[in-house]
Amino acid sequence: MEQLAILIPAYNESQTITKVIENVKTASADILGTKIYVYDNNSTDNTVTLAENAGAIVRHEYVQGKGAVIRRMFREIDAHVYIMIDADDTYPVEAIPEMYKRVLSHNADMVVGDRLSSTYFEENTRPFHNIGNTIVRSTINLLFHTQINDILTGYRAFSYRFVKTFPVLSRGFEIETEMSIHATEKNMAVENQVIEYRDRPEGSESKLNTYSDGFRVLKTLGRLFRIYHPLTFFGGSAGILFIVSAISFWFRVFIPFWHTGRVDNFPTLIVSVFIMMAGVIALFSGLILDAIQSQEQRSFEFELRKVQEKENEKK
């Protein structure tokens, strides 16, 4: 079991992969038991050859997508501390010792490399990425009551506990959103570490599509909110249905009946009743799912204890 595993997902990063590996080696030279892993995701250039020549351990994930790569890394590697960094040379490797220290000394389960509090908005030349990062960060911090400063950063440190209890469900770039929400909802210790961000070097292209990947991130956000806060999600839906039903019933059925003594709008009455029934179903669905979620939270705590015991045995 390694002391520190540095994980580098890579897809067509021949322009920067050698530099990143060499810089990581220098930054982690004082941490004994460090291994550098490059997980190639079907690169069509010479990323693999360059990574091997630079001294990294190269492995492969043939299912396309960053989420699939992270799933493979987390399953295969056992280490006391993990640091994940992109292969595009946009993150400062000088932060590695401090991130490593925070996991060990502060018992942090995830350390987030916070770009947005430093140079990201000045260095990043894609304005819609800036807007997207701000929207996602604000929405998640509002809905999940967390204080993670950079939701979509690819520079993070993890504890063994986090890696071995994190269920990777996403395949693409929405995986960072999933990580952040999982850590928050499972009451794991999360710390922000401000880092200096620099944009990709000229000729290196981002694999992130602003619109399609942005839509998937927002879709993942909605799905996770429904899973982790079912009572709020379905209770809110029930409240909207109750209001619509009451308004339509009051103005289209009750007020005319009050004046004439007749129910002239039977279709509206029937629709109002069905909408009210849908609201009742939504409310009780939220209550049932909330009870299930509470039980899953308790089960997770027992699972976390077993993972901790397993890590202690490997020490």
pLDDT at position 203 over 70:
no
Cβ count within 10 A of residue 54: 18
User: In angstroms, how far is CA 217 from the centroid of its own chain?
Assistant: 9
User: Which ranges constitute the DSSP H helices of the chain?
Assistant: 17-27, 47-53, 66-76, 96-105, 120-123, 127-144, 160-165, 175-185, 212-228, 230-249, 255-260, 266-314
Q: Backbone phi, then psi, for 3, in 5-degree steps?
A: -75, -45
**pLDDT tens digit sequence for 107-121:** 999 999 998 887 676
What pTM was computed for the model?
A: 0.84
> Would you say 126 and 208 are in contact if contact means Cβ atoms under 8 Å apart?
no
Q: How far apart are the two ends of the chain, measured CA to CA in Å?
A: 8
pLDDT of residue 123: 61
pLDDT of residue 125: 57
Residue 10's Cβ-count burial label (10 Å; 0-12, 13-18, 19+) is buried
Residue 266's Cβ-count burial label (10 Å; 0-12, 13-18, 19+) is exposed
Q: Return d(Cα 21, Cα 28) in angstroms, integer.
A: 11
pLDDT of residue 23: 96
The larger pLDDT score, comparing residue 202 to residue 36, is at 36
Nearest Cα residue to 269 out of 291, 251, 243, 290: 251
pLDDT at position 230 over 90:
yes
Q: Return d(Cα 44, Cα 11) in angstroms, integer.
A: 8
Q: Backbone phi, then psi, for 82, in 5-degree steps?
A: -120, 140
pLDDT at position 281 over 70:
yes
The three-point CA angle 112-165-82 to 5° equals: 45
Q: Return d(Cα 278, Cα 25) in angstroms, integer.
A: 59
pLDDT at position 130 over 70:
no
pLDDT of residue 312: 83
| Confidence at 266, pLDDT banded by 50, 70, 90 | confident
Specify the 3-state DSSP secondary structure of 110: strand
Q: Return d(Cα 4, Cα 123) in angstroms, integer.
A: 30
pLDDT of residue 200: 65
Q: Return d(Cα 195, Cα 145) in angstroms, integer.
A: 23
Task: For the chain, give the percent of residues with pLDDT over 90.
Answer: 62
Instruction: Kindly report the length of the chain.
Output: 315
pLDDT of residue 262: 82
**pLDDT tens digit sequence for 140-181:** 888 888 889 888 899 999 999 999 999 998 877 789 999 999
For 104, the token pair is 């060990």
Amino acid at 2: E
Among 27-31, 95-99, 135-139, 213-217, the minimum mean pLDDT is found in: 213-217
Amino acid at 56: A
pLDDT of residue 209: 64
User: In angstroms, how far is CA 79 from the centroid of its own chain?
Assistant: 21
